[in-house]
Amino acid sequence: MRIKLNSIMVEDQDRALKFYTEVLGFKKKHDIPLGEYRWITVVSPEGPDDVELVLEPNANPASKTYQQALFAQGIPLTAFEVGDLKAEFARLKEQQVAFTKEPTPMGPVMIAVFSDTCGNLIQLYQPI
């Protein structure tokens, strides 16, 4: 058994695809029309090509409530590891990414948290 797909709920699939590829630097792997929505996955250029992040349309009222509650409480939906958090923070700030937490040491890691413009807070972390 292995993890192959992980989903993240997004308010707007087009905006999410643009943010996750053009700002974060992920690569689009799949973009398949499925009626009103699409099956969109992205992969990290720094990680294995078979681990995909699905940009799921947030059409279910239960998922919208969950997403909004996490955001309101300042809780990141997921986390991505980076090799140099301070450099990644600076790069993303230059692209006008809104951070809710600047790089901060937290035990064995340093973390930062930003909004993905699609309803989610995302944590970046670097082992220290």
* Rounded Cα distance, 56 and 48, in Å: 21
pLDDT of residue 41: 98
Give the pLDDT means over successive 10-residue stretches in the chain (128 positions). 95 98 97 96 92 96 96 97 98 98 98 98 97
* Residue (of 9, 121, 19, 15) closest to 70 by Cα position: 121
* Rounded Cα distance, 119 and 75, in Å: 12
Cβ neighbors of 80 (< 8 A, separation 6 or more) are 24, 44, 122, 123, 124, 125
* Rounded Cα distance, 113 and 99, in Å: 6
pLDDT of residue 50: 87
Q: What is the distance between the terminal CA atoms of the chain, rounded to a whole angstrom?
A: 30
Cβ neighbors of 67 (< 8 A, separation 6 or more) are 9, 58, 77, 119, 120
* Rounded Cα distance, 86 and 84, in Å: 6
